[in-house]
Chain A
Amino acid sequence: GAVVSQHPSWVICKSGTSVKIECRSLDFQATTMFWYRQFPKQSLMLMATSNEGSKATYEQGVEKDKFLINHASLTLSTLTVTSAHPEDSSFYICSARVGFTGDPYNEQFFGPGTRLTVL
């Protein structure tokens, strides 16, 4: 199946700094990429959806100025957590799909996740 990678797999940073997480589709071109956040023993919460070349669409309650998403190419999306604080500590997961939203048969492929710890 298609492979999605994330880098780094874990990161520890000081409060107030910014952290960038990369999501890459390794063997396919991803028209749409998604960013999720997962708390311990909780479900995946969709943060934002991005289509290549356009601005990301953020879910209600997600601060777009804090979680900057860039989908500059068909194989790369980045999530930057700006001025991180301890409450931003979480597991961040990206996924990618070939088609645009609205296609019910278009499978999402998930990355392995990035563990962010803010001290």
Chain B
Amino acid sequence: GDSVTQMEGPVTLSEEAFLTINCTYTATGYPSLFWYVQYPGEGLQLLLKATKADDKGSNKGFEATYRKETTSFHLEKGSVQVSDSAVYFCALASGGSYIPTFGRGTSLIVHP
């Protein structure tokens, strides 16, 4: 079945550092790929998405490119802020239902 693997956290960075959170997936067909973010005490929010190979999703300075050849969708940001501290979930959706399958989440902690 479909599955998502993302790097374990927590990832701890200083402010303005470069961020990469790795995500790889296994799926039949051609899934849509997503990154969700969960700030403390809040629900998950869609951060960005890509629906086909080579698409780049971007939002709030975050980017991720749909790489079919490596089945990856790594999340990157050039300069993180303290306010980016949150848990980030990689997810895919495929098949007729398009209900997301989530990775375990990666906690990001950004220090001033």
Contacts and interface: CB of A to CB of B under 8 A. Distances in A.
A101 B98 contact: yes
A56 to B, nearest CB: 13
B105 A43 contact: yes
Interface string A92-110: 0101000001111111111
A112 B41 CA distance: 6
B60 to A, nearest CB: 13
Nearest to B32: A104
Contact of A43 (B46, B97, B102): B102
Interface string B80-109: 000000000100010011111011110000
Contacts of B43: 4, 6, 93, 95, 109-113
Contacts of B97: 49, 101-102
Contacts of A113: 43
Interface string B38-50: 0001111110000
A101 B96 contact: yes
B51 interface: yes
